[in-house]
Amino acid sequence: MLQYFTTYYQSPVGLLRFRVTEHFLSEVHFVDNDENMVPDDALRGSLPSMAVQAIEQLIQYFHGDRRSFELPVNQEGTDFQQKVWNELMNIPFGKTISYLEMSRRLGDPKVIRAAAAANGKNHVAIIVPCHRVVGSNNDLVGYGGGLWRKKWLLEHEKKIAHGVLTLF
């Protein structure tokens, strides 16, 4: 039986909750409510290296030093959801695609709604970059972490991709 660990990181886009095992990352979730936040490291004394790696890589991302993540990710989902999440990983840093383009990449423009729904079921925010999918007119639509976060992440990536250094 897998043992999961939970910890938190205060990022520039708010508090993030991480759920990991010793071997993979299963969740990066935005925390907006006042949930009972007792990190497992406070209870057990330390976190597995997977949690430390995930937090370190996100810190590098927010500082503009990382454009892709090197973390084993494992989230439960249907075969179709897995296909969508894998396709999200192919969207380059600093770029966006539309939901229609996503469905085309999946091989069938008619699956646009299913692709959007699968995108919304992603449990590994930022690392599996669902924020890089936008509406057909480049509209910011559909982000479980809130549109303000999606806008922030896209602007952050665009600045870094074009060589603009920022402090937050």
The residues that are catalytic are 130
Concatenating the DSSP letter of every residue in 9-39 gives: EEETTEEEEEEE-SS-EEEEEE--S------
List b or e across 86-110, with b for residues whose CB sees 16 or more CB atoms inside 10 angstroms: ebbeebeeeebbbbebbbebbeeee
d(CA 145, CA 141): 11
d(CA 82, CA 119): 10
Q: Tell me which residue of 147, 145, 142, 93 sits closest to 115, measured CA to CA.
A: 142
